């Protein structure tokens, strides 16, 4: 690849790429993100490659291996353009029919199409409710781009925003644009990115840094990974624009080593940028110099905190420090450092290309643009969804998510991960933006949205988050280290049936102390999952403490497994599958569980055929009866 020495060189390259592409040509886009790979999408791609070869279709069809499309529930996912035909749950054996049917004769393979809960079939991707209600500003290009091929990004106006900034805008104008767009941090806090940029720009010092925070630690969110895996250049372009506005020559990308595919695609993208002269000295002949280095995190949730992350970049342990002096004044090596999240950076080129008015027309008064959520848990359509800020929770969960699995009843939705809270059913009309979520005791966080049904125990969920945080607290400050440990201890006792009167009040007291006195956001927000569930689901806590009952039948110490003799037909499935030999019975006669041997592993409950549903869980007074 020849080095680009000017903005017009970039335009010429883009024209050249586009001239070699026919928009009417059939393009098959297959998702090869981590989710689809778990469903063996790589085998599907291999079969496609060899099938296209055998049928002599290599010239007529472009095969694009892309990053995450978002609809992880039904992977592996394929979209055939220009028609937009979407196929789901593709097996390698289906490939031949796709080639001989759809790609050769335009015949749609019915059994691979999307069918909704009511049995309606949709051929085209944009008609599927999961996609129809989304607004994919940042995430939309994922399915059109081979993340390892910079040409694909350039063909979709890639690096156009950078060229505009370097070629015809002053750093001050770029800064003003991002400030006017009111782009708020997508990593959790929602702090205005423009203000952060400005503080770093105005801070004294010649050497300044920009940093991409890709240490996505919320154990229920994976949008940052999917952007980096699927469209790494969008983040890199945003970062370069930020560096230009702030006045930096060097940037860091801090990414979890648990995301090997994202690291690989990022490294490849950086290499390609270097080849084109989009990194290094005198980028596009404009006199702007910039270098990037990639740092892999070695597994520490707290290292996603800004001061901890910067200490980790310096090769030390990633512990937070008190922020009397902000990192925008004194960050990496004591130099002014601006840190923004992956999704925030990926929004920057969009704002420059489409303009402030376009961007601020999306969203609510205080939160502009879109947000990507990982819609997961007990919802029908699991996946990544990008919606305009202000969309109602109800619409996200029921219109896009298709409602609750297995016809169960909605109970709550958890947003904000370990720092967020649960939101009950009567608040489903809540418009989702930074401020509204804050007000009800939760937070936007990085965008985890975990849907819970009647079989989810809220006490257990609070315990779950505290277990995670107890493990991840760095232990530097006492309120966080001890506060989380003590709250966890109380919750463990409650879940074990050893809760005592006064426990809930004590829990609230410890929570208030932890919130007030902790050094960093990890500890300050750690009580949120407990406090919000106590606020909305107090009766469930009381049932655990007073009646030794887990109404959702989750807490192991409070439940027993039981086979209903009236329903059991003696098929023997549970008996054969029980790993500890706790089930006895003769064929075609009701079986019995020996509670002394039962380890409550749930296997019998799982394998009992749904037409019998003879295995039940009992708790509290139910067990005695």
- Residues forming the site for other proteins (CB under 8 A): 33-35, 38-39, 72-75, 217-222, 225-226, 257-258, 295-300, 312-319, 374, 376-378, 382-383, 414, 417, 448, 450, 452, 456, 461, 464-465, 468, 474, 556, 576-579, 599-603, 606-607
Nearer Cβ to other proteins (464/612)? 464
Helix (H) or strand (E) holding 309: helix 306-313
* Smallest separation, CB 417 to other proteins (Å): 7
Three-state DSSP at 121 gives strand
What's the Rg (C-alpha) of the chain? 27
Nearer Cβ to other proteins (74/443)? 74
Nearer Cβ to other proteins (295/562)? 295
Nearer Cβ to other proteins (152/229)? 229
Three-state DSSP at 365 gives coil
* Smallest separation, CB 180 to other proteins (Å): 34
The answer to whether residues 100 and 57 touch, using CB atoms and an 8 Å cutoff, is: no
Q: Which residues pair with 339 in a beta bridge?
A: 211
CA 415 from centroid of its chain's CA atoms: 11
Distance, in Å, from the CA atom of 359 to the CA atom of 183, rounded to the nearest integer, reads: 9
* Smallest separation, CB 374 to other proteins (Å): 7
Nearer Cβ to other proteins (145/469)? 469
Q: What sign does the dihedral 102-106-107-110 (CA atoms) show? A: positive
Nearer Cβ to other proteins (183/450)? 450
* Smallest separation, CB 315 to other proteins (Å): 4
Phi, psi for 421 (deg, rounded to 5): -145, 180
Q: What is the DSSP string of 265-290?
A: HHHHHHHHHHHHTSSEEEETTTTEEE
On the CB side of 101, how many CA atoms lie within 13 Å of its CA? 14
* Smallest separation, CB 126 to other proteins (Å): 21
Nearer Cβ to other proteins (42/148)? 42
Nearer Cβ to other proteins (230/349)? 230
* Smallest separation, CB 529 to other proteins (Å): 10
Tokens of 52: 């296209």
* Smallest separation, CB 397 to other proteins (Å): 14
Distance, in Å, from the CA atom of 573 to the CA atom of 334, rounded to the nearest integer, reads: 64
The answer to whether residues 297 and 252 touch, using CB atoms and an 8 Å cutoff, is: no
Largest CA distance in the chain: 84
Q: What letter does residue 301 receive in the DSSP assignment?
A: G
The answer to whether residues 526 and 586 touch, using CB atoms and an 8 Å cutoff, is: no
Report how far apart, in Å, the C-alpha atoms of 154 and of each of 86, 157, 347 are. Answer: 25, 5, 17
Report how far apart, in Å, the C-alpha atoms of 374 and of each of 184, 225, 386, 406 are. Answer: 19, 11, 9, 20
The answer to whether residues 283 and 290 touch, using CB atoms and an 8 Å cutoff, is: yes
Nearer Cβ to other proteins (296/354)? 296
* Smallest separation, CB 254 to other proteins (Å): 10
Nearer Cβ to other proteins (34/307)? 34
**Closest Cα partner for 297 from 472, 447, 138?**
472
* Smallest separation, CB 301 to other proteins (Å): 8
* Smallest separation, CB 465 to other proteins (Å): 8
Tokens of 317: 């342990």
């Amino acid at each position: 690849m020849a080095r680009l020495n000017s903005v017009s060189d970039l335009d010429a390259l883009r024209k050249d790429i586009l001239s070699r592409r026919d928009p009417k040509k059939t393009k098959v886009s297959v998702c090869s993100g981590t989710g689809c790979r778990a469903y063996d999408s790589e085998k599907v791609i291999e079969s496609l490659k060899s099938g296209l070869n055998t049928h002599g279709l290599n010239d007529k069809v472009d095969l694009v291996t892309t990053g995450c499309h978002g609809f992880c529930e039904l992977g592996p996912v394929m979209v055939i353009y220009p028609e937009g035909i979407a196929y789901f749950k593709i097996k390698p054996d289906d490939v031949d029919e796709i080639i001989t049917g759809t790609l050769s004769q335009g015949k749609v393979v019915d059994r691979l199409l999307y069918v909704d809960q009511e049995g309606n079939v949709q051929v085209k991707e944009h008609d599927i409710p999961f996609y129809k209600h989304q607004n994919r500003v940042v995430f939309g290009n994922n399915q059109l781009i081979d993340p390892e091929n910079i040409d694909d990004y350039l063909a979709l106006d890639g690096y156009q925003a950078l060229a505009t900034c370097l070629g015809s805008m002053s750093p001050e104008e770029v800064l003003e644009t991002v400030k006017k767009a009111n782009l708020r941090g997508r990593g959790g806090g929602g702090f205005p990115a423009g203000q952060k940029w400005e503080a770093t720009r105005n801070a004294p010092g010649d050497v300044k840094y920009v940093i991409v925070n890709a240490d996505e630690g919320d154990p229920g969110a994976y949008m940052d990974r999917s952007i980096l895996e699927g469209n790494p250049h969008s983040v890199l372009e945003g970062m370069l624009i930020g560096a230009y506005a702030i006045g930096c020559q060097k940037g860091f990308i801090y990414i979890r080593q648990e995301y090997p595919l994202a690291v690989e695609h990022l490294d490849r993208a950086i290499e390609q940028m270097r080849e084109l002269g989009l990194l290094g000295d005198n980028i596009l002949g404009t006199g702007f110099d910039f270098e990037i280095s990639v740092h892999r995190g070695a597994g520490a949730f707290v290292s996603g905190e800004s001061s901890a992350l910067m200490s980790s970049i310096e090769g030390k342990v990633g512990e937070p420090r008190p922020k009397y002096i902000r990192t925008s004044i004194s960050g990496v090596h004591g130099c002014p450092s601006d840190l923004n999240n992956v999704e925030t950076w990926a929004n920057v080129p969009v704002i420059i290309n489409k303009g402030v008015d376009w961007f601020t027309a999306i969203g609510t008064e205080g939160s502009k643009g879109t947000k990507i959520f990982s819609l997961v848990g007990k919802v029908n359509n699991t996946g990544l969804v990008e919606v305009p800020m202000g969309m109602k929770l109800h619409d996200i969960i029921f219109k896009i998510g298709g409602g609750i699995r297995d016809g169960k009843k909605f109970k709550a939705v958890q947003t904000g991960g370990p720092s967020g809270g649960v939101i009950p059913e009567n608040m489903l009309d809540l418009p989702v933006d930074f401020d509204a979520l804050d007000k009800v005791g939760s937070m936007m966080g990085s965008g985890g949205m975990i849907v819970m049904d009647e079989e989810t125990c809220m006490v257990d969920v609070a315990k779950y988050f505290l277990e995670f945080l107890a493990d991840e607290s760095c232990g530097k400050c006492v309120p966080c280290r001890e506060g989380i440990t003590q709250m966890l201890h109380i919750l463990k006792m409650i879940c074990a049936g050893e809760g005592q009167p006064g426990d809930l009040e004590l829990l609230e007291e410890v929570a208030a102390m932890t919130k007030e006195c902790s050094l960093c956001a990890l500890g300050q927000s750690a009580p949120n999952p407990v406090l919000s569930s106590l606020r909305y689901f107090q009766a469930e806590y009381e049932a655990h403490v007073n009646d030794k009952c887990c109404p959702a039948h989750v807490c192991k110490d409070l439940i027993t497994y039981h086979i209903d003799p009236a329903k059991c037909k003696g098929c023997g499935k549970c008996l054969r599958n029980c790993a500890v030999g706790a089930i006895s019975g003769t064929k075609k006669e009701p079986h019995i569980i020996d509670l002394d041997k039962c380890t409550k592993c749930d296997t019998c409950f799982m394998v009992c055929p749904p037409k019998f549903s003879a295995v039940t869980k009992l708790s509290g007074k139910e067990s005695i009866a």
